[in-house]
């Protein structure tokens, strides 16, 4: 009997030891490093050129779930998300944007300068200098060739377009959802671009048509559009990205200590 008790006791000790090792092994695999998230929130720039590679269905679901689960004031969740991968629907949205552009800008045409249209020199424009400031030359004296550069990404230029709508007065909550989706997409390896200009057309005189097309709730308006896709090759080195410089931390933040 004493031997049996000793064997049982040894078995319990061994089991506990094995359990301890198992728990330790599992917890050691839990990622506690938030480096990736920090980079996404502070360093990644807007994507201006997308490739044709489609967004995986599983990834799209994760991105949309990040929006659905975003925080909102009093948890009202006053939003709706329409994910568009259909080329036909995307073209209709792009056509809506095209109606906003003055005729002179359509089809890639640029309007003539004011003095060419009216014959008069516009006011408050300084005289041209005989010695304009020169930009520093590129390495090895090379000059960038922008002749074949496409326009920066708009609706129709990314494989996934997410239209975010919300109730009037809930734009801040919608913005949190957009940030969530953008961050999730970046963490999954995609590029993103947030557009607000489409709201002018989508909430305009043909609003009812676009609401039906995008299944937007009657009590909501479009707040923004999120473009998602893989960045085109070499975009991170593109001299045409025209990314603006961030203001300094001290310039934008006030800290009041006791």
DSSP annotation of 158: S
Q: Indicate the pTM of the whole model.
A: 0.67
State the pLDDT confidence band at 240, using cuts at 50, 70 and 90. Answer: very low
Indicate whether 111 belongs to any domain. no
Indicate whether 133 belongs to any domain. no
25-34, 36-45, 96-105, 229-238: range with lowest mean pLDDT:
25-34
Q: Is the pLDDT of residue 238 over 90?
A: no
Indicate whether 126 belongs to any domain. no
Pairing label, strands 79-84, 191-195:
unpaired
CA distance 189 to 194: 16
CA distance 201 to 94: 10
What are residue 226's DSSP bridge partners? Answer: 162, 194
Tokens of 30: 């839990």
Given a contact cutoff of 8 angstroms between Cβ atoms, the answer to whether 155 and 161 are in contact is yes
pLDDT tens column, 93-123: 998 887 665 444 444 444 444 444 444 544 4
CATH number of the CATH domain containing 85: 3.40.109.10
- SS3 of residue 44 by DSSP: coil
58 exposure class (CB count in 10 Å sphere: 0-12, 13-18, 19+):
exposed
Q: Considering the chain, what percentage of its residues have pLDDT values greater than 70?
A: 62
Q: Domain tally for the chain?
A: 1
119 versus 148: the higher-pLDDT residue is 148
Query: What is the pLDDT, as a whole number, of residue 132?
Result: 52
CB atoms < 10 A from the CB of 173, how many?
A: 22
pLDDT tens column, 193-226: 999 999 999 999 999 999 999 999 999 999 999 9
Indicate whether 13 belongs to any domain. no
Tokens of 12: 């319990």
**Domain membership of residue 81 as a residue range:** 35-100+154-231
CA distance 184 to 61: 11
């Amino acid at each position: 009997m004493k031997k049996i008790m000793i064997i049982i006791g040894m078995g319990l000790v061994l089991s506990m030891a094995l359990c301890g090792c198992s728990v330790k092994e599992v917890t050691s695999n839990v990622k506690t490093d938030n480096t990736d998230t920090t980079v996404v929130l502070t360093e990644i720039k807007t994507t201006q050129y997308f490739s044709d590679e489609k967004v995986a269905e599983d990834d799209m679901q994760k991105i949309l779930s990040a929006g659905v689960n975003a925080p909102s004031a009093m948890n009202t969740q006053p939003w709706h998300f329409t994910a568009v991968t259909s080329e036909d629907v995307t073209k209709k949205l792009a056509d809506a944007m095209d109606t906003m552009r003055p005729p002179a800008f359509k089809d890639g045409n640029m309007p003539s300068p004011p003095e060419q249209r009216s014959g008069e020199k516009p006011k408050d424009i300084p005289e041209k200098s005989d010695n304009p400031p020169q930009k520093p030359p590129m390495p090895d004296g090379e000059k960038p060739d922008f002749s074949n550069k496409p326009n920066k990404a708009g609706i129709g230029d990314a494989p996934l377009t997410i239209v975010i709508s919300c109730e009037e007065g809930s734009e801040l909550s919608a913005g949190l959802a957009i940030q969530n989706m953008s961050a999730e997409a970046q963490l999954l390896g995609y590029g993103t671009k947030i557009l607000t200009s489409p709201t002018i057309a989508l909430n305009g005189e043909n609003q009812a048509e676009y609401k039906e097309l995008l299944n937007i709730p009657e009590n909501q308006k479009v707040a923004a559009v999120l473009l998602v896709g893989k960045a085109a090759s070499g975009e991170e080195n593109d001299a045409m990205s025209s990314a603006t410089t961030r203001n300094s931390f001290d310039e934008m933040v006030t800290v009041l200590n006791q």
